A and B are shown apart, each in its own frame.
Chain A
Amino acid sequence: MTEKDIIDTILTKHGREGTRLLQILREVQEALGWLSPPAITAIARGIGWPRAKVEATAAFYSFFHLRPRGKYCLLWSDNIIDRMQGSRELMHRLCEKLWLEPGRLSEDGLVFVHTTSDIGMGDQGPALLINYRVATAMTPERVDAMAELIRAQTPLAEWPAEWFAVADNVRKAGPLLSSFTPGSALRAALARGAEAQLAEIGASRLRGRGGAGFPTQRKWQACREAPLKEGQTRIVICNADEGEPGTFKDRLLLTRYADLVFEGMTIAAYVLGARKGFLYLRGEYRYLLEALDAKLDERRRAGLLGHAILGVADFDFDIEIHLGAGAYVCGEESALIESLEGKPGRPRVRPPFPVTHGYLEQPTIVNNVETFACVTRIAEHGAEWFARLGTPQSTGTKLFSVSGDVVRPGIYEYPFGTTVAEVLEAAGVAQCVQGVQVSGASGTTLTGDELSRRLCFEDVPTAGALMVFDCRRDMFEAARNFAHFFAHESCGFCTPCRVGTQVVARLMDKLAAGHGSQYDIQELSKLSRLMKNASHCGLGQTACNPIVDTLAKFRPAYERRLMTLDFVPAFDLDAELSQARQMTRRDDEAAHLFTAQG
């Protein structure tokens, strides 16, 4: 087949729908290696969009390449946890073996090595994406073997399968992670009726598991009451864009408990009268796609999806899987919806909220993977059972993704209200705990003295990530890693976040290089306030949380880097005269500048 035929086949498969642009771009790239200008042109013609609009979408997402990326594209997960596991050293080892620099395509166009934001393998790093397939538990030996395979141009299919194994690492299971008979919860919901099922969710006091903790029943109620225009339906979206560094619980749910998730979505559809559902799966979890599609087919065959579900006339609902393409901001629900519509993932101006104007202007709910799993359990066991678990304002159990300096990293299910210390004790801490980053880069930093804090909305709210740092670690480096993460992931829509995240990252680098002064620390605090108050969405508003927390709780980690009382430039001023000195061959006193003030 020619390139044109390949693109045409993909376009036809997706009905030449612009809303499916991300899927079209990904499939074209998987087939052709990269998105060449003629490919973009062909896609634009195919879906009837202006070329610039297609290119804008392609350029927005990290996983789409408008330039060749070689036969092998290796992206090392760059969260602080991966770094603590030695990812940087391994990446440089690989580059040395292959004679290349990170971030530059090799001269022969064969291989590209770089970093990417956390890929959700914190419990089994160092991990990387090899042509967008997850590989875990890297070691120097594996890296050496990998360099050989690349040099010999061995096809990926012939690489050792164990490199691509993803362990579940369930360390403690509870009522959520227990056996389940597909259809049983849906039958219970149908027996109750839509209104009673919604009331049941209200009575369970279920709150969203994505971190914000919005009451699920209120969201669903608003969507259910939103008027429909001619030809519209309500939409159920499952947010599986698990991009928060240190979080990997949805990975487990989608690997082992997909029925719980899909059934929760179907119950939502029944309650709302929705006919269409999407699972927005982060691009990093591409390796789950085939199994999830097979699971959907299985459920269709069992009468749990499709027309007249479980024989109920007029109960039609189906689910499509959309893959993201490496954009953290798409975890924000309105950015996610933009992405589902084939556009760059920029958060919308709200109101109107998605519950009234969501996917293609239709009333839409977006819930976390774990929330849907909880919905299924509530339908199955009832609200009273669920509300007995956890605390008054945070009912049920919660999945915690534990990584970092613990003996047993992985998934732990505990009722809400469990203390950090309890979870850490189960996970096993060999050294003393210096800090715990709760709920990812945008979350809360706790010190070793705060381990009696409780994980629930009444105390420390969380989407479930616990990154543990023992006494050997440098909390400043953790905050600096997060600063660079946000600088990379800012969508660029609003100035406070676009510029602010960059300035913060540079200031942290300046401090790291030993050029910082108290003035720079003050500037960090000022920027934190500005970004919190002026940013358009949660990304910019929370980007400085780790800075604010570590400045308050780990200030010496900053102060020990201060080499001077006076403000000094971030760069070597004398070196700034080097080119003029070279060209004029001068070396007199006036041809030098000294950094220390006279």
Chain B
Amino acid sequence: MNAPAKLRIATASLAGCFGCHMSFLDIDERLLELIDLVEFDRTPLTDIKTCHPCDLGLIEGGVCNAENVHVLRTFRQNCKTLVAIGACAVNGGLPAQRNHLDLRDILETIYETEGGLARGTHIPNDPELPLPLNRVHPIHEIVKVDYFLPGCPPSADAIWKFLTDLIAGRTPTLGHGLLRYD
């Protein structure tokens, strides 16, 4: 019998701090066990830039600009299962703190008011740059999300439990101690 086909996984960090990816790497030597079961598509680990058809997509961070929307949609179109990992993807997290302020005021205060930046600085309008959204959104407000893994970041053990459950075909459950929101 042939060995079962490896699961294809893509990951991305949107409006996040890469802390969830760091926590993922904290599974340490279990990475070697994991690599026997999966292969990586687009992820900061492989430096592949676009997402191809995958079994599993892991998203860290919320959605703060137009590019985040495009990346997230590409993931949704390509991944059979999409997972929100960490406080920002689940709830908007720290970046969503700006939702209490008007984006126009933020841009004006930062770029047009004397003080912080070099003289003559203006709000950048290069078409290369993605425009920020009025508000930062958790990813489930933009696309359908299949699973949520909370935590800031979720611990390596939680990520490991979650992934091994999924890979084995079990509905992931995080028991006491692994399911936490801080």
Residues 135-156 (chain B) with a chain A CB within 8 angstroms: 135, 137, 141-144
Interface pair A597/B133, CB less than 8 Å apart: no
Tell me whether A580 and B144 are in contact in the complex, defined as CB-CB below 8 angstroms, given that A586-B125, A588-B127, A590-B127 are known contacts.
no
Residues 569-598 (chain A) with a chain B CB within 8 angstroms: 569-571, 573, 575-586, 588, 590-591, 593, 597-598
A-B contact count (CB 8 A): 61
Query: A584 — which chain B residues lie within 8 A by C-beta?
Result: 123-125, 131
Min distance, Cβ A521 to any Cβ of chain B, angstroms: 12
Do most interface residues of chain B lie in helix, strand or loop, or is the interface mixed?
mixed
Interface pair A519/B133, CB less than 8 Å apart: no
Q: How large is the interface on B (under 10, 10 to 19, 20 to 34, 35 or more residues)?
A: 20 to 34
Interface pair B141/A569, CB less than 8 Å apart: yes
Query: B102 — which chain A residues lie within 8 A by C-beta?
Result: 579
Residue on B nearest A567 in the bound complex, by CB: B144
Interface pair B141/A586, CB less than 8 Å apart: no
Residue on A nearest B135 in the bound complex, by CB: A576
Query: B104 — which chain A residues lie within 8 A by C-beta?
Result: 579, 582-583
Interface pair B134/A578, CB less than 8 Å apart: yes
Q: Does B69 contact A (CB under 8 A)?
A: yes
Tell me whether A583 and B107 are in contact in the complex, defined as CB-CB below 8 angstroms, given that A573-B142, A576-B135, A577-B133 are known contacts.
yes
Min distance, Cβ B89 to any Cβ of chain A, angstroms: 15
A597 CA / B69 CA spacing, docked (Å): 11
Min distance, Cβ A63 to any Cβ of chain B, angstroms: 30
Per-position 1/0 for B61-86, Cβ under 8 A of A: 00000100100010011000000000
Residues 89-126 (chain B) with a chain A CB within 8 angstroms: 102-104, 107-108, 123-125
Query: A588 — which chain B residues lie within 8 A by C-beta?
Result: 127
Interface pair A597/B108, CB less than 8 Å apart: no
A575 CA / B69 CA spacing, docked (Å): 13
Q: Does B130 contact A (CB under 8 A)?
A: yes
Instruction: Select one of A517, A519, A579, A590 contacting B130, CB under 8 A.
Output: A590
Q: Does B44 contact A (CB under 8 A)?
A: no
Min distance, Cβ A225 to any Cβ of chain B, angstroms: 40
Min distance, Cβ A567 to any Cβ of chain B, angstroms: 4
Interface pair B127/A576, CB less than 8 Å apart: no
Interface pair A591/B141, CB less than 8 Å apart: no
Interface pair B127/A580, CB less than 8 Å apart: no
Interface pair A597/B77, CB less than 8 Å apart: yes
Interface pair A580/B142, CB less than 8 Å apart: no
Interface pair A573/B131, CB less than 8 Å apart: no
Tell me whether A586 and B127 are in contact in the complex, defined as CB-CB below 8 angstroms, given that A569-B142, A577-B133, A597-B77 are known contacts.
yes
Measured CB to CB, the residues of B under 8 A from A are: 66, 69, 73, 76-77, 102-104, 107-108, 123-125, 127, 130-135, 137, 141-144
8 residue pairs A–B, Cβ–Cβ below 8 Å: A567-B143, A569-B137, A577-B66, A577-B131, A580-B131, A584-B123, A584-B124, A586-B131
Measured CB to CB, the residues of A under 8 A from B are: 517, 519, 566-567, 569-571, 573, 575-586, 588, 590-591, 593, 597-598
Q: A517-B144, A578-B134, A579-B134 are in contact. List 18 more A-B contacts (CB 8 A).
A: A567-B144, A569-B141, A571-B141, A577-B133, A579-B102, A579-B104, A580-B107, A580-B131, A581-B131, A583-B104, A583-B107, A583-B123, A584-B131, A585-B125, A586-B125, A586-B131, A591-B127, A597-B73
**What 5 A-B pairs come out closest when comparing CB atoms?**
A567-B144, A584-B125, A580-B131, A579-B103, A576-B133
